[in-house]
Amino acid sequence: MAAAKCEGNSFWDEIEHLTTILRRENRTKQISRLGGERNPPCKDTSRPEVIKKIEFFIEGLLIKLGQNNLPDIQFKNRCSWANVTFEEDVGVGMNKNASETSVKLNASYSVQKYAITLKILRIAYGLLQENVYSTKRDIFYNDVPFFGSQTIVDRAVDDISCMFDVPRHSLHILACSKGYVSGQLSFREHDGNFINCSGNPNGIVIPSHVHGIYDICSDAKAILVVEKDATYQRLLDDNILEKLKPIIMITGKGFPDLNTRLLVKRLWENLEIPVLALVDADPHGVEIMCVYRFGSMSQSYDADNLTVSCMRWIGVLPSDLERLSIDQEAQIPLTEQDRRKISYLLDRPYLKAHGSMQQELLVMLNTGYKAEMQALSGISTGFLTDVFLPIKIKHGKWI
């Protein structure tokens, strides 16, 4: 499909109509989000405030020790669906009265976690005092024998963020990014470095300090979030940024890291343009789309900074496979694990509120097949870029 075919006003009519609706809904949601059952938003907190939070916390531990008591550390339980509430405008957010777990000094099973928590607090306190940042990876590799694994560090940092009700970056602890962004977008990083994504044909790695970016500029009509790196690269090779110009394209390279999710949310907040998800027509792809759109249980305490409830699922829908007469040989039979995943997804609160998404999962269950985006190339090599996406965008075929 030639780029000229996307230049007329009629091509973007449905996108512009959706933009108007989303912006109006966003204004209404901002007014109505007062109150509710979930925790107050996990807002960016100033450096002095976080320093005081850490000092107050440590002071409390010392007071109890001075009274010959072994102080426990209380963490909100981020591993229970009973602790979260689904709200359409926010996604999966943590309840105000979420249950907690205790980390005790006199229990052998939790002594290590206690020590790790205090060490990371000490590191965060030093970073805040010096007003510098570090990555979770650097923290781990500075003392591998003590921490044991990167996962332990990651979990401890998130637990501390949740406990203090602050975003992770407010502790001055960042994560290395794996996602990429390309297209009609420019911004400045927190250190003033200017980034022009349109000048990098293969895209750029998403910054580690997404909260620190500023001067975000774009004339894009929409943001296309692509599940897999292979598809993202294929779309770039097929010149999608020119054929569907002006758009922004992002990939989390599979299950998205927090920086990818943060960037998608930042762009929506700043640009207020439609965000379209392109994922495989399989349970894993649907779950990834849901994480972007509705959030996750483990990060429910930071839902306001991560979920993009305005996201629309442009494809590949399970119903697309039948509509396009995709050869069954290009599809993959569902496994028992796939069926369990579908049942698990259908039981989640956000899908119960979205009948059209439920219906797509039921289509997958009933046919007994799933498919990757590459299955569309069986129709023609450039079908995804030249036909599928342009038609979906022009006619507003998303859910």
- How far apart CA 187 and CA 193 sit, in angstroms, is 8
Q: How many CB atoms lie within 10 A of CB 359?
A: 14
SS3 state at 243: helix
Rounded to 5 degrees, φ, ψ at 132 are -130, 165
With b for 16 or more beta-carbon neighbours within 10 A and e for fewer, the 304-337 pattern comes to bbbbbbbbbbbbbbbbbbeebebeeebbbebeee
Contact status, residue 21 vs residue 13, Cβ threshold 8 Å:
no
* Residue 179: both structure tokens together: 């996602």
Which amino acid is present at 261? R
* Active-site residue set: 141
Task: Kindly report whether the peptide bond that precedes residue 286 is cis, defined as omega within 30 degrees of 0.
Answer: no
Entry field: residues in the chain? 399
- How far apart CA 64 and CA 73 sit, in angstroms, is 12
- How far apart CA 65 and CA 380 sit, in angstroms, is 70
* Residue 353: both structure tokens together: 């509120």
Closest CA to 125 of 54, 202, 221: 54
- State the number of CA atoms in the 13 A half-sphere of 40 facing the CB: 6
- How far apart CA 2 and CA 240 sit, in angstroms, is 10
- How far apart CA 380 and CA 183 sit, in angstroms, is 25
Closest CA to 203 of 252, 267, 244: 252
Closest CA to 297 of 125, 76, 31, 5: 76
Task: Kindly report whether the peptide bond that precedes residue 256 is cis, defined as omega within 30 degrees of 0.
Answer: no
